[in-house]
Structure 1
Amino acid sequence: MTNIVLLVGNLGADPELRTTTGGTDIASFSLGTSRPKRDGEGKTFKDSQGFTVKDTEWHRVTCFNGLGKTVAQYAAKGMLVSVRGRIHNTKWTDKDGIERYGYEIIADDVQFLNRPKQAESEPQEPIDPELEMAE
């Protein structure tokens, strides 16, 4: 049996990067995926202006080591990405002694589907559209 998940969505916030005491880099981010909202008959809901109403689900994504560093460096809130990985279930006891359950996606691969942000160390010069067209 296989545990594989493939999600395509937008980052809800900039990734957070942390490093464990053992030196492992871990980047985490929230990923929003949307689908059309449907009624009991399977028809899509439309708003007052005729646009399809969407249901959004939020997924917690975790990336390790090199992938984590790359995602933290180049990904930004709102970017469209594809995530391939596995679902990881967790169980913990909260401060009130109640057992809680959750899940996260452990990413094996993250593909940027639109332009990543510039690295902070790179100069960010505006692009002259006339020069691009001349090339």
Structure 2
Amino acid sequence: MALRRTFRVAPLVLLLLDVAACVPQNSAPKAGNAVAPTAADLSTPQPRTATYNCADGGRMTIENLGTSLRVLDPDGTSEDLPASPANQNSRFGIAHDAIVIDGRDALVMKGGETPLTCTR
């Protein structure tokens, strides 16, 4: 008798476990929540405009526009890079170009080239 009851209840228990696995937990991040700033973001904020000296001997100026960066090369060309993802302020990129700002350092990545470290 007890074995028959176990076989009747088992599918219901499995179904409840399946449903419970699909429900998000309270500590899980939800879409649209802002990401908390890291210690590097709080300790050394990115100035509005900063000049960086790069490991290859080159220089560039980065203008921080909040939700994007404008990169100015010494030859006068500029490129705008939006925040990527949009809810943060240290990673910027478009297509194959990206810049990651970490305190006083910027890692510059261009498609097909070796990443370059620059310091302000």
TM-score of the aligned structures, taking structure 1 as reference length: 0.24
Work out which structure has the larger RCO, using CA pairs closer than 8 Å and 6 or more positions apart in sequence: 1
Report the structure, 1 or 2, having the larger strand content.
1
Structure of larger gyration radius: 2
Report the structure, 1 or 2, having the larger helix content.
2
TM-score of the aligned structures, taking structure 2 as reference length: 0.26
